[in-house]
Structure 1
Amino acid sequence: MRLLAICGSPRESGNTRRYLELALKEAQTLGAETELVWLGDKTIHGCKGCYGCVQARRCVIEDDFQPILAQMARADGILLGAPTYHASIPCELKALLDRAGFSGRWACNEMKKADEGYTWQGSLFSGKVVAPVTVARRAGQNFAFAQLLLWAACNDCVIPGNTYWNVGVAGKGGAVDADGDSEGVGIMQGMARRMVRTIEALNRT
């Protein structure tokens, strides 16, 4: 079982990364193989809407997106982590998800003629277990959290529930203090356990 955490924070060692690390550590105790990708040192341009992926069956923009997409494709579960910037996710993560979702759909489907409807055959992410993680000092998380949920929902992913939203509250004045959010730490650990159990259940079917 492979769990991939994608840290969309521009800060290399900020609270978003720490919450993801706590979740991965919990998953490791249950036997999962884990890895974490930080987007802050990557070059990932936004989707150009060029539709080159329709014929190529892959995104045709050449940058750091391709190896990350390969990691996402190999994973059984994906944690999408983002700090909250003006009630939204950072642009680096948005660029990754836009391109992954668009090219991932055309990797599994054919473009139809103008007078034909679609019966979608899933996407590159069909059946993967995906959980969002957002972090904010106080508020603004709802929309950022919803952005990640909506991406997972429209890419045919399985979204496990939790006892609360997967959110952390930390960072007054830029402080890296996620460990002090005892409730948030418990939420992340619970999320990890539910992801592992969900993947195990899917593998049995």
Structure 2
Amino acid sequence: MKALAVNGSPRKDGNTEILLRNVLAPLEQTGWETRLLQVGGGKVGGCIACYKCFENKDLRCAVTKDDCNDVLAEAWTADALIFGSPTYFTDVSAEMKALLDRLGLVSLANGGALRGKVGAAVVAVRRGGGTHVFDTINHMFLMSSMIVPGSSYWNLGFGLNKGDVLQDAEGLRNMRHLGQTIDWLGKAIKPHQADFPLTVALGEETSE
């Protein structure tokens, strides 16, 4: 099984990355293939609402001049997505928001390509506003028919300067517990993923 962690912080080796690596550690110990991608500070622009993804239906965003499709290609092959972001004025980083919008829309355009995958949000926060970041990430996961596991607390790690979250013992325990929960849930879901209902695309209607 494969877990993809995406770092929405532009600060490499910073608090968000430390938290993500603590989630991945239990998964690696139980045999998961893991990958951590850096999108914060990279080239991922916002959705331009061209809706070409609904015409092409090729699991790609029609905008190809940035790094978004590289991340999307990894996401489709993953059983679990762990998205991490710092807290910027009570929300995710710009790159993380752009990725959420484009990944979510391309998934919807392709019959719900994310459905049945595990999705978890991880947040680095100095003091307040972290739960809104947590919600922003989870809202896309939930609207994409993904399965969002709980842990022992909100998936927050507290710190400002690089490495400060290493002093947040409770936060690190929560991250490791989250990894263990993803391992259990992913293995429980895997045999039944093909049975998940298809997602209804924008503009489509169902009849009784």
Q: Secondary structure at the match of 2:40?
A: helix
Paired position in structure 2 for 1:166: 155
Q: Aligned letter for 1:107?
A: N
Paired position in structure 1 for 2:9: 9
Paired position in structure 2 for 1:134: 123
Shift of 1:204: 3.8
Cα distance in 1, alignment partners of residues 93 and 40 from structure 2 = 10
Report the TM-score when normalising by structure 1: 0.89
Cα distance in 2, alignment partners of residues 24 and 125 from structure 1 = 20
Listed one character per residue, the Cα deviations across residues 72-128 of structure 1 (whole Å, up to 9, x for unaligned) are 0100001010000000000001001101111111122xxxxxxxxxxxxxx110000
**Residues 184-199 of structure 1 mapped to structure 2, 5 A cutoff:** 184-199=171-186
Q: Aligned letter for 2:95?
A: E
Cα distance in 1, alignment partners of residues 71 and 190 from structure 2 = 24
Q: Does 1:155 align with 2:144?
A: yes
Q: Secondary structure at the match of 1:40?
A: coil
Q: Does 1:54 align with 2:43?
A: no
Query: What is the aligned-residue identity percentage?
Result: 33
Q: How many residues align?
A: 189
Q: Secondary structure at the match of 1:12?
A: coil
Deviates more, 1:62-71 or 1:50-59: 50-59
Report the TM-score when normalising by structure 2: 0.88
Paired position in structure 2 for 1:44: 44
Cα distance in 2, alignment partners of residues 145 and 36 from structure 1 = 19
Shift of 1:41: 4.9
Q: Aligned letter for 2:16?
A: T
Shift of 1:42: 2.7
Cα distance in 2, alignment partners of residues 85 and 186 from structure 1 = 24
Cα distance in 2, alignment partners of residues 41 and 140 from structure 1 = 21
The one of 49, 64, 67 equivalent to 2:67 is 64
Paired position in structure 2 for 1:118: none
Cα distance in 1, alignment partners of residues 122 and 21 from structure 2 = 11
Shift of 1:154: 0.1
| Structure 1 stretches lacking a partner, 5+ long | 109-122
Paired position in structure 1 for 2:204: none
Paired position in structure 1 for 2:196: none
On the 8 A contact 2:52/2:62 being kept in 1, the answer is yes
Q: Does 1:73 align with 2:76?
A: yes
Cα distance in 2, alignment partners of residues 32 and 199 from structure 1 = 10
Cα distance in 2, alignment partners of residues 104 and 202 from structure 1 = 19
| Structure 2 stretches lacking a partner, 5+ long | 193-208
Paired position in structure 2 for 1:82: 85
Deviates more, 1:85-94 or 1:48-57: 48-57
